[in-house]
Amino acid sequence: MTSNALKVFISDLHGELDVFDFLADRQFGILHLLIRQQFSSELNESQCAAIEASAIRLCRAANASQAQLDRTSAVNKEILFTALFLMVVQQKAEDESLTIAIRRWGWLSTVHRALSGDAQLSCTPFSQLVEMLAQNIRTLSAQDFFALAQAFAKALFKKLSPELNIVGDIYDRGQDAFAIMERLRGLPNVAIQWGNHDVVWMGAASGNLACIAVAVRICLRYGTLDMLHRDYGINLSRLERFAAKAYGDDDCAQFTPKGDLNAEEKLRIARMHKAISIIQFKLEGKLIARRPEYAMADRLLLDKINIANSTVAVGDEVHPLLDSNFPTLDVEQPYRLSEAERKVAEDLKQQFLASAKLTQHMDILFHRGGMQKKTGDWLLYHACVPVDEQGEFQPFALAPETARGQSLFNFCELEMRRGYLNRMVINDRNESDIAWFLWCGPHSPLFGKARMTTFERYFVADKQTHKEGKNEYYNLRSNPEFLARVATELKCSSDQVRIVNGHVPVKYQSGERPVQANGKLFSIDGGFSMPYRSATGLAGFVLLEALGQIVLYRVIPNDKSYALEVEYQQMLKPKAASVPAA
């Protein structure tokens, strides 16, 4: 991936394609910014919006005949043509088809050369430029006009193509993570900082059974089975048959899936959902046992179940169970899979390893992604750099030596890559276990909480047991001095460095704001995911470094689409040229 003066940062897409496409159509806000920056003194907002919409429509159209303007547009074709032409000239957009189109009309070539080289003419008011071009524009046939306008728009979009940084969590509950990954395949300049939902899928594609169970469970919980079956070719028929047999007399009420389904379909999926959840807890128990360094014994809860009393001990307290039907639980060996469960798990593993499309998408995450990234003056990582209650970088006994801060990030990334590269190798090193730790391990740098309370949320009513506890990082990150220590630890020496995180939704409606520590930290999870929008009141954030400024946009949901509103804007000072050594 190459460095680019146009930088875009988004995070926590959670499989929501409509917001992603809305932003991609606008070059992630850069087109929106350019039009307002260039024409706001000459044109009103409705005219600027119409130019933006027309440019998008021109780019989408396969040919000029499909690119006709809506008659209700707020701009006439002379204004549209001039605006597109002026942006092409001033952004120095070049394209072979554009060059051919301009040369075809001598008057246009003359104006293009004049605007490109004459400083006085380039300052000509927009209205005069419209008048200058209008007479010639009117001589164009409709076909020629739209062919030219389309050439302008496509050259402009190509010029405005940014360096796109996704700060984690392409995957999760949304149904379109597959489609987003397909979009990313076609973009030339993309980097991904892994989120904890991403590493679950990366671990699953590495053959980690616990990660596979988590990925399947989430798809069943949120009704995204099409992504598993249609898109990745993962067939759940063995799981379905097992669930029907083991839980055939169970209404599985605690496992009712989200979404608009009929009663029969809900019950069918609920049984599968419960079946894979119990398999997940058993597989996690095995992983915790072989990884004492993860310090996750508090997550071993199957052995704390008292079936006779229908209770479970969580910590020092005993709680009634919301569901006490465990037909496959062996009280003597609670983490042992039944033979039928083992066959389900092994079947899923073979399918995950054999999925060509899943491998293709995980290759993208591994090749274009990592735990962190520095680009220009920006430092990007999904969740946190774990610290203890004193604000010191928290040590983890994961490697032969204790790792913390940068060494923790390095170790986790190396182990993730080893696990994927060795996914077909039979050994007892279990390198892909690190993916599961990053997903839910205590204070993992991609999770940033003390525990993941999945079991309690299914089986215990007391919401006190559902609390997960954020890492101290989140209490300290509004302090510029703390952020400077973090930047130094992650090998960023610039005093201009700005940190970008996702992971934690910004509760905008409750007064939380995404910009902290005097503009040193941007927390940009703004609610791409529909379930979070009730808390954020938004549909996400998009952060730009473009056109000499930093701009953070709120994505506002409305009845039919979305809109962009400025949350934060700062002009950048030109950097002084470096002086060669004598």
Let me know if residue 580 belongs to a domain: no
155 and 182 within one domain: no
149 and 42 inside one domain: yes
Residue 414 and residue 361 share a domain: yes
196, 96: one domain = no
Instruction: Give per-residue pLDDT as tens, 84-102.
Output: 988 988 888 887 878 887 8
Residue 60's pLDDT band (cuts 50, 70, 90) = confident
Q: Contact, 204 vs 337, CB < 8 A?
A: no
pLDDT of residue 493: 80
- The pLDDT tens digits of the residues spanning 331-368 come to 999 999 999 999 999 999 999 999 999 999 999 999 99
d(CA 418, CA 441): 19
Identify the band that residue 578 occupies on the pLDDT scale cut at 50, 70 and 90: low
Domain end (from 443, 466, 489): 466
Of the candidates 420, 440, 466, which is a domain's last residue?
466
Using the predicted structure, report yes or no on whether residue 26 has a pLDDT greater than 60.
yes
Residue 68 pLDDT level (bands cut at 50, 70, 90): low
Q: What is the pLDDT of residue 449?
A: 98
| pLDDT of residue 240 exceeding 60 | yes
pLDDT of residue 128: 82
Q: Range of 423's domain?
A: 177-466
Overall average pLDDT of the 73-92 stretch: 84
What pLDDT, on the 0 to 100 scale, is given for residue 248? 97
Predicted confidence (pLDDT) per residue in 124-155, tens digit:
788 888 888 888 888 888 888 888 888 999 99
Residue 2 is predicted with a pLDDT of 52
% residues pLDDT > 70 (the chain): 95
More confident: 532 or 303: 303
Q: Could you tell me the two tokens for 139?
A: 């001589």
Specify if 294 maps to a domain.
yes
CA distances from 392 to 330, 352, 404, 485 (A): 43, 39, 10, 10
Quick check: is 20 in a domain?
no
Q: Are residues 183 and 326 in the same domain?
A: yes
Lowest mean pLDDT among 51-55, 342-346, 538-542: 51-55
Boundary residue ending a domain (429, 449, 466):
466
Query: Do the domain assignments include residue 380?
Result: yes
Q: Are residues 191 and 272 in the same domain?
A: yes
**Does residue 234 lie in a domain region?**
yes
- Regarding whether 252 and 140 lie in a shared domain, the answer is no
For residues 322-328, average pLDDT: 98
Angle at 166 between CA 8 and CA 38, to 5 degrees: 15
Residues 149 and 183 in one domain: no
pTM: 0.94
pLDDT at 535 over 90: no
Give the model's pLDDT for residue 450.
97
Q: Are 416 and 329 in the same domain?
A: yes
CA distance 494 to 29: 27
Cβ of 40: how many Cβ atoms within 10 Å?
12
94 within some domain: yes
Query: Which contiguous run of DSSP H or E holds residue 564?
Result: strand 562-571
Same domain flag for 282 and 328: yes
Q: Which residues contact 107 (CB under 8 A, 6 or more apart)?
A: 136
pLDDT(409) > 90: yes
Q: Is 580 or 78 the better-scoring residue by pLDDT?
A: 78
Q: How many structural domains does the chain have?
A: 2
Residue 330 lies in a domain: yes
Same domain, 185 and 74: no
In the predicted structure, residue 561 carries a pLDDT above the cut 70? yes
Helix (H) or strand (E) holding 483: helix 480-489
How confident is the model at residue 138, as a pLDDT?
87
If asked whether residues 257 and 336 sit together in one domain, one would say: yes
pLDDT of amino acid 384: 98
- Supply the mean pLDDT for the chain: 92
367 within a domain of the structure (yes/no): yes
Mean pLDDT for 285-294 is 97
Please state the rounded mean pLDDT for residues 550-559.
Answer: 95
